[in-house]
Amino acid sequence: MNKQITRLALTGVGMIVALVVATTYWQAWAAGDLADRQDNQIERVAQFTIDRGEIRGNGVVWARNRAEKKGGRTFYFRVYPQRGLAAHVVGYSTQERFRTGLERSMNDYLTGQNANLSTVLETFVDKAKGATIKGNALRLTLVPRAQRAAQNALGRRCGAVVALEPDTGKVLAMYSSPTYNPNLVEENFDQVTSVTAECRRPDALLNRATAGLYAPGSIFKVVTASAAIDAGRFQPDSEFVDPGYCEVYGKRVNNYDTTRPFGRLDLHTALVNSVNSVFCNIGKELGARFLVEYMKRFGFYALPPLETPADERAPSGIYKGTKLFDPAADTDVDPGRLAFGQERLLVTPLQMAMVAATIANDGVVMKPQVIDRIVAPDGKVLVRSKPEVLDRAIKPATARAVGAMMKDAVAEGTGTAAQISGFTVAGKTGTAETGIAGLNTTWFIAYAGKNRPQVAIAAVVEQQNSTGGQTAAPVARDVLQAILGSTANS
Amino acid sequence: MSLRNRELLNLIAVGLLTAIGFASVYIAGSEPSELDATSLTYAGIFMALYLAAHFVVRYAAPYADPVLLPLAALLSAIGVTLIYRLEPDDAFRQSLWIVIGVVLFSLTLLALRRDYRILEQYKYLFGITAILLMVLPALPGIGQTINGARLWVKVGSFQFQPGELAKIFLIIFLAGYLRDKREVLAQGRLKDFGPLFLIWGAAMLVLVQTNDLGSALLQFGIFLAMLYVATGRAAYALAGLALFVGGAAFVYRYVPHVQERVTIWLNPWTDDPVFCAQTGEFALRQDCGSFQLVKSLYSIGNGGFAGTGLGKGTFTTTGGDPIIPYLNTDFIYSAIAQELGLVGAAGLLLVFMLFVARGFRVALLADDGFSKLLAAGLTFGLALQTFIIVGGVLRVIPLTGITLPFVSYGGSSVVANFILLALLLLVSNRANMQAARGRT
């Protein structure tokens, strides 16, 4: 019988070896995937025992901890002192609703799980001593005054504002309305989700600044003009005749105001006064694929980089249903309507702020960054954000030419409401039809500064019955003023 | 050094480990960190208990294997430490059960110290009792359904799982019966298999009645293993396995509980809501049927390489509600894996492996068929039971509620395993004694 017993013994030992292998699989190989699952309640609770890193910047605390002792353990719950002021960027970290925003995407740093050698060492020592693990703190680039200006300017209207520093890509303002109070997410989620504002999508958690997709309307003419001039096909003084409409595929496309055709005019004047027919003809001349190529240079058709979670951002471009559509042939898309920002074009405020910043930055697209630096518990800076070039979209001369048109648009054209005394403001208005008569998506993109461009901005206001010049331009102006004012003081 | 002195040294090492374990649980739970004498009382009582067991072994089975008792002590110490950390009240009860277990262990040793092979004469009594015990939970009135499986018997306030004891009786019966019939069985005449088919039928019946794949798999696995050891015919074992799979497939089709367990095992996570039988609404499966398994995997994954440390694991929400149900019993391995990490969990499995290896060594050294079959059966039973519950928790096989020998909270399990240990030591004692006499 000994032969059989030996074999049975091997089977028995083999079964236990299999268990060791399976345990190793779950604890080493699959542990990361398990930890990342949203329904992993143990991981969520365990993370509350970590002294999570604070999120602050420019004099305010965006997120701090409230230590609470329960059952012999200390839990660190999040408190958001600024409530809804930058809720969509900062996000929340809760037990029941998981995490969003930077709280989610930067969780590894905030909980000291990042792979930087010094953090790994410190966490290991803390763990071995049984001490509380301390996370790393974030310092944001957001300017609190600008956030407050955006909040006040938008009021109960739905929309978003994104402001960037043109030469660095720093996000100076990012506000989405309606906002929500992240302190209520854990305890009173119903109050967070019940939105009374009349939005196109009544979702308070949606970050409209990075994931809100809107028809751009006339602000897109900045891209069209850039493409036309950059390729050398048109000049600011190229002559056009405006009959008040433009014919595309045998159909008339009207100007915003058809009663006053401009007659003979040049490209510069056409942008200053936002004449659809001129851009329609340019679009027909350039073709849809050519325009799409230039859009890509500005960052369209790609997820705009930012430190927030990827699924809280959306790429801009032509959409077919819910999917991005890259036309294979010029005939796939109506180039005339595309050129002045209609067709099936959908853009995010972040992308349009990047367009404005690119014009302000001599045609170079900078990577938007909302985190200035990451600081270890001992005060040492772990990561410091450096300005990063994404792409050169257009030549410096093109940028200057388009910038000159935008300046005149504010000085004497459609965007006069954005004027700020003592500063040069260059901007472009946009009023996109939503398909419902009398309800427009209104836009304003701009950059401003004293001697050089200091800030670029995009503001969108949903469901308005007037124009971008009347609704969005004042919002942008308030935020610009807040930023320019605070930089002037500093 | 004599076998018994080696055992004593091993036990002292285990005692020290236990003291350290209790101390760390206590320190982790207290603020500021300090040590209290009461926490060490457990370790002290523990040590005294096993010393008593040791002296009984010294008297009743002086030649017995010196490693098995310390390994069992270590496993039960790990168990009590974890239970103390999770539910201090249960730890007290578990300690009482260990005391009862050690008493029964001693009684078994003392009663059978002259010749345990007397059990062989009562094999049919053991066989019939085993079947009765298995069927007991299915009887209306005293049977209890807990966590979907009907494994419990409740008489008054006294509650126990007869399956644990049935396992040992079954092994005694099989050892006696198979030693008797191994030659004729090896010839392969169908009529000799009658009683064995009866056992197979009983196992299947138990499976249907108790809704418990784990117990059926355990009983049947032990049966096949012993049949193989007795006859040396691997074909029997394979045919038996085929029968079991066939039977299980049949049961799978017609018993929803078993069906659900398999579905959960194959797809614990869903992206879209599925029908949830428990609530009658649609929900993600990880929030419904498979939440126990999924949470247990999260617990294991959270432990990582080194674990959170004793007393530092996460088993409740910040509000204090338990996250994993049956943490003390079915899922104690998930708790160990989280707090002690891969190092500790693998260490625990190595202790089991060592126990199993020593048990089979006893079977190899024994010089008669009954002893060999008994030792091999008992050892394989313990190995298979470990595999079924830990394998279930690790999603290697469908999860079925069964205790982790010596570690899980549960009186019936503790008592049964101490009797198992006593029988192994008796076999070992006799084998080593024979060998020693042979040498002189």
Kindly report, residue by residue over A270-307, the tens digit of the pLDDT: 998 888 889 988 998 899 999 999 999 999 999 999 99
- The residues with which A61 forms a beta bridge, in sequence order, are A56
The answer to whether the CB atoms of A18 and B299 lie below 8 A apart is no
Q: Mind listing the pLDDT tens digit for each residue in A70-87?
A: 777 789 999 999 999 999
Decide if B270 touches A, using CB distance below 8 A: no
**Cα separations (Å) of B31 from A133, A232, B34, B215?**
17, 75, 7, 43
Question: Residue A84: what pLDDT?
Answer: 92
Round to whole Å and give the CA distance between B412 and B428: 24
Contacts of B306 in chain A (CB under 8 A): 127
Cα A348 to its chain centre, rounded Å, is 7
B103: tokens are 């008493």
Question: Residue A488: what pLDDT?
Answer: 44
Across chain A, which distance is largest between two alpha carbons, in Å? 108
The answer to whether the CB atoms of B300 and A23 lie below 8 A apart is yes
Question: Residue A482: what pLDDT?
Answer: 94
Sequence-ordered list of residues with C-beta below 8 angstroms from that of B76, at least 6 positions apart, any chain: B98, B406, B407, B414
B352: tokens are 């089991």
Round to whole Å and give the CA distance between A120 and A134: 11
A431: tokens are 């009023």
Question: Residue A490: what pLDDT?
Answer: 38
Beta strand pairing call for A239-242 and A389-392: unpaired
Residue B256: other Cβ atoms inside 10 A = 11
Q: Where are the alpha helices (DSSP H) in B123-233?
A: 123-135, 162-187, 194-210, 213-231
Round to whole Å and give the CA distance between A454 and A456: 7
**Cα separations (Å) of B106 from A176, B51, B60?**
74, 12, 9
Contacts of A3 in chain B (CB under 8 A): 232
Give A53→chain B minimum CA distance, Å.
Answer: 19
The answer to whether the CB atoms of B316 and A71 lie below 8 A apart is yes
The answer to whether the CB atoms of A42 and B323 lie below 8 A apart is yes
Residue A99: other Cβ atoms inside 10 A = 21
A6 compared with B182, residue with greater pLDDT? A6
Decide if B373 touches A, using CB distance below 8 A: yes
Testing the interface with A: which of B300, B336, B340 to mutate, by most A Cβ within 10 A?
B300
Question: Residue B435: what pLDDT?
Answer: 86
C-beta of residue A184 within 8 angstroms of C-beta of residue A209:
no
Question: Residue B241: what pLDDT?
Answer: 82
The answer to whether the CB atoms of B387 and A16 lie below 8 A apart is yes
Work out the pLDDT band at A124, boundaries 50, 70, 90: confident
Round to whole Å and give the CA distance between A483 and A96: 37
Amino acid in the structure at residue B298 = Y
**Residues B336, B342, B343, B345, Cα dihedral to 10°:** 40
CB contacts under 8 A, B 189-228 vs A, are 225, 228
Round to whole Å and give the CA distance between A422 and A296: 35
Give B319→chain A minimum CA distance, Å.
Answer: 8
Which 3-state string (H, E, C) describes A194-210? CCCCCCCCCCCCCCHHH
C-beta of residue A434 within 8 angstroms of C-beta of residue A417:
no
CB neighbour burial string for A259-269, b if at least 16 within 10 angstroms, e if fewer: eeebeebbbbb
Q: Mind listing the pLDDT tens digit for each residue in A391-420?
A: 999 999 999 999 999 999 999 888 889 899
Round to whole Å and give the CA distance between A354 and A447: 10
Give B318→chain A minimum CA distance, Å.
Answer: 6
The reported pTM is 0.79
Please, is B173 exposed, middle or buried when counting C-beta atoms within 10 Å of its C-beta (0-12, 13-18, 19+)? buried
Q: Which H or E element spans position A345?
A: strand A345-346
Contacts of B395 in chain A (CB under 8 A): 22
With CA atoms as reference, the chain B residue closest to A9 would be: B360
Residue A113: other Cβ atoms inside 10 A = 18
Question: Residue B261: what pLDDT?
Answer: 81
With CA atoms as reference, the chain A residue closest to B351 would be: A16
Strand boundaries in B247-362, DSSP class E: 274-276, 281-283
Averaged pLDDT, A210-220: 93
Please, is A202 exposed, middle or buried when counting C-beta atoms within 10 Å of its C-beta (0-12, 13-18, 19+)? middle
**Cα separations (Å) of A436 from A219, A463, A470, B48, B144?**
20, 9, 19, 85, 65
Can you tell me whether residue A93 is helix, strand or coil?
A: strand
B98: tokens are 């260990």
B149: tokens are 């499986």
Q: Mind listing the pLDDT tens digit for each residue in A13-69?
A: 999 999 999 999 999 999 888 888 878 888 888 888 899 999 999 999 999 999 988
Contacts 24+ apart (CB under 8 A), B267-272: B268/B293, B268/B294, B268/B297, B268/B395, B269/A37, B269/B294
Q: What angle do CA B91, B92, B96 make, to 5 degrees?
A: 110
With CA atoms as reference, the chain A residue closest to B319 would be: A70
Question: Residue A478: what pLDDT?
Answer: 95
Round to whole Å and give the CA distance between A301 and A291: 12
ipTM: 0.93
Digits of tens for pLDDT over chain B (440 positions)?
Answer: 788 999 999 999 998 888 888 888 877 766 656 666 766 777 888 889 999 999 999 999 999 999 999 999 999 999 988 998 888 888 888 888 999 999 999 999 999 998 999 999 999 899 889 888 887 877 776 776 766 666 667 666 666 788 888 899 999 999 998 898 888 887 877 777 777 777 767 766 766 666 677 787 888 889 889 989 998 888 888 888 888 788 778 877 877 777 888 888 998 898 888 888 777 788 888 888 888 899 999 999 999 888 888 888 889 888 778 888 888 888 999 999 999 999 999 999 999 999 999 999 999 999 899 999 999 999 999 999 999 999 999 999 988 878 899 999 988 999 999 999 999 999 999 999 988 887 66
B121: tokens are 């004469």
The answer to whether the CB atoms of B396 and A70 lie below 8 A apart is no
C-beta of residue A360 within 8 angstroms of C-beta of residue A424:
no
Q: Look-up: residue for tokens 């009461």?
A: B38
C-beta of residue A88 within 8 angstroms of C-beta of residue A102:
no
Averaged pLDDT, A459-488: 88
C-beta of residue A108 within 8 angstroms of C-beta of residue A114:
yes
Q: Which H or E element spans position B158?
A: strand B158-160
With CA atoms as reference, the chain B residue closest to A15 would be: B387
With CA atoms as reference, the chain A residue closest to B294 would be: A40
Q: Mind listing the pLDDT tens digit for each residue in A325-345?
A: 998 888 888 888 899 888 889
Round to whole Å and give the CA distance between B40 and B36: 7
Contacts of B428 in chain A (CB under 8 A): none
B219: tokens are 């009983």
Beta strand pairing call for A60-70 and A73-79: antiparallel
Give B33→chain A minimum CA distance, Å.
Answer: 10
C-beta of residue B350 within 8 angstroms of C-beta of residue B340:
no
Give A128→chain B minimum CA distance, Å.
Answer: 9
Question: Residue A471: what pLDDT?
Answer: 92
CB contacts under 8 A, B 238-267 vs A, are none
Round to whole Å and give the CA distance between B86 and B80: 10
Contacts of B391 in chain A (CB under 8 A): 15, 18-19, 22
Residue B115: other Cβ atoms inside 10 A = 10
Which residue from A43, A72, A77 is facing B302, i.e. has the nearest CB? A43
The answer to whether the CB atoms of B298 and A42 lie below 8 A apart is yes
Round to whole Å and give the CA distance between A432 and A435: 9
Question: Residue A212: what pLDDT?
Answer: 93
The answer to whether the CB atoms of B391 and A18 lie below 8 A apart is yes
The answer to whether the CB atoms of B298 and A4 lie below 8 A apart is no
Question: Residue A489: what pLDDT?
Answer: 41
Averaged pLDDT, A107-122: 83
Give A102→chain B minimum CA distance, Å.
Answer: 23
C-beta of residue B326 within 8 angstroms of C-beta of residue B289:
no
Whether the upstream peptide bond of residue B32 has omega within 30° of 0, thus cis, is yes
The answer to whether the CB atoms of A70 and B319 lie below 8 A apart is yes
Beta strand pairing call for A345-346 and A317-320: antiparallel
- The residues with which A143 forms a beta bridge, in sequence order, are none
B329: tokens are 């019993």
Q: Look-up: residue for tokens 């006893």?
A: B362
Give B38→chain A minimum CA distance, Å.
Answer: 18
The answer to whether the CB atoms of A5 and B337 lie below 8 A apart is no
Give A24→chain B minimum CA distance, Å.
Answer: 6
Round to whole Å and give the CA distance between A287 and A281: 10
Task: Report which of A345, A358, A367 is spatially closest to residue A291, judged by C-alpha positions.
Answer: A345
